[in-house]
Structure 1
Amino acid sequence: MERKSIDEKFRRKPTGAAVMRSDLTDALYRAFFEEWAEHGYTGLSLERVAARAGAGKAAIYRRWPSKLAIASEAIERLGLTLTDVSDRGGLAEELEAYLLMMRRALRHRLVRKILPDIYAEGARSSELVPLLDKLASGRRGAGVEMIERAIARGELRKEIDRELALDLVPSALYWGMIIVRRRITREQIGRQVVALVAGLKAI
């Protein structure tokens, strides 16, 4: 299943004397996401996170200095940022790979609950702004590389509005999966790619 690759990020196999520490760290990550999904970031309790992981609160503070620190590292670990869209020889092929990677992340049951909460909390408080910036930077960095390759191949104009392009690429998929909770098939992604290629050539 596509979800498996995301879940496996929690199950890094440690070696030697670090086995117990690594296992506990993985348990704390899982507990943190479960609590976040159930209670939202504001209602998230590190005491409950520790209890769910079968540990004391001190186990959290030995690893992270704050709730924000564990949130930032946990989000990166979960793989919400989109990276490594390699050169596939054409804009359409790379857009498809990019959207399929994004769909894989958005299908995860915890991501579907946590991601909207991140943006809602970011609008209410500045605490999560660095985390939002990290998410945007990872996604947009991959998008910039993809657009620059398309320009180099002559598929897009050098004068393309890059910021608008980076906004357009993920918008329909995010809206469909997270806002209106629609199941997006590979065929639908294919139609999004056709529309995106036409749109990107026009801006």
Structure 2
Amino acid sequence: MQVDHRKGPRRRGEVLEEAIMQAALAELAEVGYMNVSMERIAARARTSKAALYRRWPDRAHLIVDSYVRFVVDDVDIPDTGSLRTDLMVLLRQLANVITSPVVMMLFGLLVDAGDNGELRAVIRERVATLKPVLISDILERARARGELRKPLTRRQSTLPIDLLRNEVVQILLRDGPAGEIPDSTIEEIVDEIFLPLVRA
């Protein structure tokens, strides 16, 4: 006998969307991106496929939004009173997030994006634009404390996160099991590259 997972209290709006996105990431972690289906996500979220398609056109858009909502949005922007310490704490958090098993399984999403210009645009909009948001408050506070001696361009402002992303790419391209980004690498990004640039 097939169980109807949709039976239960009726959910709407943000409550339903959150349940769907949690189900999407759980499904991703269990079966990998290539085996994710809207039908399986709907069953796990105890809703209908129609409820998913009213909000997202396909699985890739749903996974991108779920990643941003439950992975990146959980990053706490530090406020320690020091630019260096703020950057170290932020990059450590981001390193832990973007080397997590969920993110490693998003390779399939990038494969889909290769032939889908609309999806590439979604990834750029939803993920790439997070960089200045994550670091802008840290830089504004540092500027108010006098730790920044000159205005920074957008590219200069996001340099620490860009360099961290490059480290992740190297991990993903390596043979064998993925490893973590060591604290020494984060210290190099902050102490040897970014701080000398902004304090010159």
* Aligned counterpart, 1:10: none
Structure 1 runs (4+) deviating above 6 angstroms are 21-24
CA distance in 2, matches of 1:44, 1:132: 22
Corresponding pairs, count:
177
CA distance in 2, matches of 1:156, 1:132: 28
User: Structure 2 regions of 5+ residues with no counterpart?
Assistant: 1-7, 173-178
In structure 2, relative to structure 1, the CA distance for the partners of 1:111 and 1:160 (3 Å cut) is same
CA distance in 1, matches of 2:67, 2:136: 21
- Pairing of 1:110-125 with structure 2 (within 5 A): 110-114=102-106, 116=107, 118=109, 121-122=112-113, 124-125=115-116
| Candidates 118, 121, 128, aligned match of 1:127 | 118
- Cα root mean square deviation, aligned: 3.4
CA distance in 1, matches of 2:115, 2:197: 33
Q: Report if the CA contact (8 A) 2:91-2:161 is conserved.
A: yes
Q: Report if the CA contact (8 A) 1:112-1:178 is conserved.
A: no
* Aligned counterpart, 2:166: 175
Q: Report if the CA contact (8 A) 1:103-1:173 is conserved.
A: yes
Which structure is higher in helix share? 1
Cα displacement (A) at 1:96? 0.6
TM-score when normalising by structure 1 = 0.68
* Aligned counterpart, 1:31: 27
Matching of residue 192 in structure 1 with residue 183 in structure 2: no
* Aligned counterpart, 2:135: 143
- What amino acid is the match of 1:61? A
* Aligned counterpart, 2:51: 62
TM-score when normalising by structure 2 = 0.69
Cα displacement (A) at 1:149? 1.7
For residue 85 of structure 2, give the secondary structure of its aligned residue in structure 1: helix
Q: Report if the CA contact (8 A) 2:132-2:157 is conserved.
A: no
Between the aligned residues of both structures, percent identity stands at 20
For residue 160 of structure 1, give the secondary structure of its aligned residue in structure 2: coil
CA distance in 1, matches of 2:74, 2:186: 16
In structure 2, relative to structure 1, the CA distance for the partners of 1:33 and 1:191 (3 Å cut) is same
CA distance in 2, matches of 1:183, 1:199: 26
For residue 77 of structure 2, give the secondary structure of its aligned residue in structure 1: coil
User: Structure 1 regions of 5+ residues with no counterpart?
Assistant: 1-15
Cα displacement (A) at 1:84? 3.9
Q: Report if the CA contact (8 A) 1:33-1:110 is conserved.
A: yes
CA distance in 2, matches of 1:86, 1:101: 10
